[in-house]
């Protein structure tokens, strides 16, 4: 069969032949129609991910999830550890999600990863409730855009977004955001703006995609003064602006704030199970109903080598069609 294969660690994948796949008892074979390319897939392909750095490299099919047809004709989204950007893929039976018949494959391939990076944090880590006020820090990327829409879907009464790209930031107002704060403001003006927002409409949830200095400023703006303060949950999902921050102990003592993260290692087995049985199906239906939109850049699997290092427009997910 044809597949996108990394033959040499660190090199771009090539469109080439790959031997047949063995299907185990807990697996099913999928005829793949599309698969999205995410940071995880690029890191694993380049040998830069912790899960691959100590492995002896063998020719490997790229991709971690995809969409296609089962042998009985069912249209499904699936997860696989054996590669997905190929004509055929082996999927774990427990990680299959039916795709609505009127949802296109490109959207179905692109949406789940962004849902994992937004809905799981909002629902399980933050415990979002109808009427919550949500601040999304670094909201102009793919997952941040989905987080805005899902927060609205979950009943948020006010959504504040931050970001550097002014055009992308303004576009979030059409997706459900209520107020924007530019990360291009100087530190004092940024902190003052956040203080004013928090005073007027106390923030219940902060969803953070970038960490680093912006989070230091937000926490400084939220710092209490010794009186009772509003309870806020800060959930970190990414670290695009740096992996560490400086955190004053006074902020923790003087502010009712809880800091945690959302990612594969932080979810319970029950939460992970609900991702496949409830959350992704719910978001697929929301996409069908026009309540969630995601932009994609589609390429053919035959173009994978030439397009691998091409910069994709901000806010779009690269999808390989087969």
Both tokens of 129, joined, read: 């409730």
What CATH number has the domain bearing residue 254?
3.40.50.720
Task: Supply the angle between the helices 212-222 and 187-200 in degrees, to the nearest 10.
Answer: 50
287 lies in some domain: no
Q: Splitting the chain (322 residues) into consecutive groups of 10 residues, what average pLDDT does each group show?
A: 92 92 92 93 72 68 96 96 95 94 97 97 97 98 96 98 95 97 98 97 98 97 89 96 94 95 93 96 98 96 93 88 97
Domain with 175, as residue range(s), is 118-262
Cα four-point dihedral sign 161, 210, 115, 87:
positive
- pLDDT in the model for residue 214: 97
Both tokens of 229, joined, read: 């303060």
**Cβ contacts of 40 within 8 Å, gap of 6 or more:** 49, 64, 113
Strand order in the sheet with 2-6: 14-17, 2-6, 60-61
Exposure of 224 in the CB half-sphere (CA atoms within 13 A): 17
280 lies in some domain: no
Q: Last residue of a domain, which of 244, 262, 280?
A: 262
My answer on whether 85 and 122 are in the same domain is no
Domain count, the chain: 2
My answer on whether 220 and 124 are in the same domain is yes
DSSP tag of 124:
I
pLDDT in tens, 50-75: 555 566 668 999 999 999 999 999 99
What's the CA gap between 290 and 285, in Å, rounded?
9
- pLDDT in the model for residue 45: 78
- pLDDT in the model for residue 54: 60
My answer on whether 40 and 55 are in the same domain is yes
My answer on whether 220 and 299 are in the same domain is no
My answer on whether 83 and 169 are in the same domain is no
My answer on whether 85 and 157 are in the same domain is no
My answer on whether 176 and 197 are in the same domain is yes
What CATH number has the domain bearing residue 73?
3.90.180.10
My answer on whether 35 and 97 are in the same domain is yes
Q: Last residue of a domain, which of 220, 244, 262?
A: 262
pLDDT in tens, 219-248: 999 998 888 899 999 999 999 899 999 999
pTM for the model: 0.92
- pLDDT in the model for residue 52: 56
> Left, alpha or beta for 52 (phi > 0: left; psi -120 to 50: alpha)?
alpha
272 lies in some domain: no
205 lies in some domain: yes
User: DSSP 3-state assignment of 5?
Assistant: strand
């Amino acid at each position: 069969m044809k597949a996108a294969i990394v033959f040499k660690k660190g090199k771009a994948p090539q469109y080439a032949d790959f031997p047949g796949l063995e299907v185990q008892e807990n697996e099913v074979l999928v005829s793949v129609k599309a698969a999205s390319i995410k940071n995880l897939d690029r890191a694993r392909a380049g040998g830069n991910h912790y899960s691959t750095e100590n492995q002896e490299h063998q020719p490997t099919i790229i991709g971690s999830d995809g969409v296609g047809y089962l042998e009985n004709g069912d249209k499904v989204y699936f997860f696989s550890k054996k590669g997905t950007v190929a004509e055929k893929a082996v999927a774990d039976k427990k990680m299959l999600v039916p795709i609505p018949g009127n949802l296109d494959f490109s959207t179905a391939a692109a949406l789940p990863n962004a849902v994992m990076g937004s809905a799981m944090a909002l629902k399980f880590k933050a415990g979002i409730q109808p009427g919550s006020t949500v601040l999304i820090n670094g909201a102009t990327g793919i997952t941040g855009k989905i987080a805005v829409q899902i927060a609205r879907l979950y009943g948020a009464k006010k959504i504040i977004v931050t970001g550097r790209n002014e055009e992308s930031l303004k576009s979030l107002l059409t997706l459900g955001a209520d107020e924007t704060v530019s990360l291009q403001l100087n530190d004092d003006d940024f902190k003052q703006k956040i203080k004013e927002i928090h005073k007027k409409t106390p923030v219940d949830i902060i969803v953070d995609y970038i960490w680093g200095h912006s989070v230091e400023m937000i926490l400084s703006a939220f710092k209490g003064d010794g009186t009772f303060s509003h309870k806020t949950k800060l959930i970190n999902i990414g670290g695009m602006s740096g992996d560490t921050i400086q955190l004053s102990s006074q902020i923790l003592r003087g502010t009712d704030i809880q800091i945690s993260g959302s990612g594969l290692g932080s979810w319970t087995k029950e939460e992970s199970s609900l991702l496949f049985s409830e959350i992704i199906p719910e978001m697929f239906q929301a996409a069908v109903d026009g309540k969630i939109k995601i932009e994609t850049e589609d390429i053919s699997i035959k173009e994978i080598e030439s397009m691998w290092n091409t910069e994709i427009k901000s806010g779009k997910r690269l999808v390989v069609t087969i």
